[in-house]
Structure 1
Amino acid sequence: MPPLPAPAELHATLVREGHVFLRRSDMLQQLAPHGPPGDWTAFAASWNDMPLDAYMADGGRYRRRRYGVFSAYADGSIVREAHQPHWQSIDYNPLNGDVARWFEPIPDAVGDSLQTVLRFCHATFSALAPDVAHWHVEAHQFRIEAAPDLAGQPTPEGVHRDGVDYVLVLLIRRDNIASGTTTIHTPDGSLLGSFTLTEPGDATLLDDARVFHGVTPVVPVDAREPAYRDVLVLTFRRTRPL
């Protein structure tokens, strides 16, 4: 994919294709107008002490996560909401759906980096849906761990939709892992494309109503060392029109 330096090109690609893959350099260009980059080292370090996801219906102990909810308004403001459970219909998540899942909250100290990414997504998705006055935004910190005897599953529910309007997946770090390839599909399962988030800052944006996505399992490169994949996932769901 060629570089996408201008927001208009990014918007046009999302409208045309239903998804966009941004390399780190392009993503940094997109983020720059939306605030200071913040302390990426501290931001990435906030993934290091997350608790295990205790809701995995497959019994897996390979996923750690935190969660937060925000409201984003037409005037550009973004407000953090009271902590609440994450809920998905079983129609969208056949593994863990129809369960109110209480995850540890994302700490406020995560700070400027998260706010900049939120503002970028708000501006991007609002340009595609200018009638939306209020977005319900969910933020997920994920760490997927891999072991020699157990691959990590970034999408244990398989190829899926999230049941929202738009999704951002931003790579924070990958250490000592192989694979983790993202695949994009039509609703009937046909493959539209595939790519691998490899550098911190690589990202993909998805029109969740139009495309399905999945990520292949991750495995250690060196069985003697820790192996993991850290991502930030933001989902935007419209709540009411102007």
Structure 2
Amino acid sequence: MKVTEDTVGAFVDVLRQDGFAFVPGDAMRDAFAQAGSLADWDAFAASWNDLALDTHMADHGRYRRRRHAVYRAGADGAIERQTHQPHYQSLDYNRLNGGVARWFEPIVADGASLATILAYCRGLFGALAPDVARWHVEAHQFRIEARQGEAGLPTPEGVHRDGVDYVLVLLVARRNIASGTTTIHRPDGEPLGRFTLTHAFDAALVDDARVHHGVTPVEPVDASQPAYRDVLVVTFKATGEAHA
């Protein structure tokens, strides 16, 4: 469902009703601005030019670059970056690349924009789950590259869940690509919605326990020019700790 209001309350209502929301970039940027500064956004977006190749791809693809960071967030207070650690998903959630601890290069552009995005997500997802005292948070920078004869796969594992509670997928940049359409499904596979993130700050908000999601492959429009899709994915998972 398309969301145009820029308040946490409106997004909460849509997520509770549908399990997902598409938020246009202008509305998402305005919503982030309620939580903090985006003053370093240009530098943050430029950091996607320095992502390392993902060498863990079981399909042997060389179309994905990424960086990763882990945080601990309480219901209130600071969101604290944790010692660098691997990303792990079980095979239940990632049939292609799951079952192993995957180490990625750390996120280095850890400034105002990322802090604001994390703070906003904590407020939004905390409103959906007010009993959660602590969150395990992971941030992933992804660049999916498309070349002539080699499509880029934003979700090479197919339509899936991430094995967390909530997900933000935020478009940072999109250059010279076609497709890359997000699809949302019930657990039984029934389609619920589809939309394409096309402008900076366009976002998908997902209740990962209720719906599955995927993204169609991207192909270059002009094969002689660089073609890529840059997104930030943020996941929140309750740690099971109770309020003091």
TM bucket, shorter chain: over 0.9
**Aligned sequence identity (%):** 63
Alignment partner of 1:164 is 2:164: yes
Conserved? CA contact 1:46–1:110, under 8 Å: no
Higher alpha-carbon deviation: 181-190 or 23-32: 23-32
Deviation, structure 1 residue 77: 1.9
Please tell me the residue identity of whatever aligns with 1:203.
A
For residue 151 of structure 1, report the CA deviation from its aligned partner.
0.2
1:124-179 deviation per Cα after TM superposition (whole angstroms, max 9, x unaligned): 00001011110000000000000011000000000000000000000000100000
TM-score by length of 1: 0.98
The separation in 2 between residues aligned to 1:111 and 1:4, in whole angstroms, is 27
1:162, 1:102 → 2: CA distance? 17
2:208 alignment partner in structure 1? 208
Q: Say whether residues 1:58 and 2:36 are aligned partners.
A: no
Aligned residues of 1:38 and 1:113 also touching (Cα < 8 A): yes
User: Any runs of at least 4 consecutive aligned residues in structure 1 with deviations exceeding 4 A, and if so which?
Assistant: none
C-alpha offsets along residues 160-215 of structure 1, whole Å, 9 cap, x if unaligned?
00000000000000100000000000000000000000001100110000000000
> C-alpha distance in 2, partners of 1:130/1:65?
32
Q: Distance in 2 between matches of 1:15 and 1:76?
A: 25
Q: What residue ranges of structure 1 are gaps of 5+ in the alignment?
A: none
Q: In the alignment, residue 51 of structure 1 is paired with which amino acid?
A: A
Contact 2:32/2:120 (<8 A) preserved: yes
Match of 2:125 in 1: 125
Unaligned runs of 5+ in 2: none
Counterparts of 2:50 and 2:6 in 1: how far apart (Å)? Answer: 35
TM-superposed CA distance for 1:76, in Å, is 3.3
1:101 is matched with 102
> Which one-letter code corresponds to 2:126 in the other structure?
S
Count of paired positions: 241
Query: What amino acid is the match of 1:85?
Result: P
In the alignment, residue 185 of structure 1 is paired with which amino acid? H
Look up the match of 1:16: 17
One-letter identity of the residue aligned with 2:7: A
1:5-54 CA distance string (max 9 Å, x none): 22211100000000010001110121111101122211111000111000
What SS does the corresponding residue of 2:88 show, helix, strand or coil?
A: coil
Q: Which amino acid aligns with 2:221?
A: V
- How many Å separate the matches in 1 of 2:3 and 2:85? 40
Mapped to 2, the partners of 1:223 and 1:7 lie a distance apart of 41
Give the aligned CA root-mean-square deviation in angstroms.
Answer: 0.8
Q: Distance in 2 between matches of 1:127 and 1:51?
A: 35
* Partner Cα separation in structure 2 for residue 110 and residue 147 of structure 1: 30
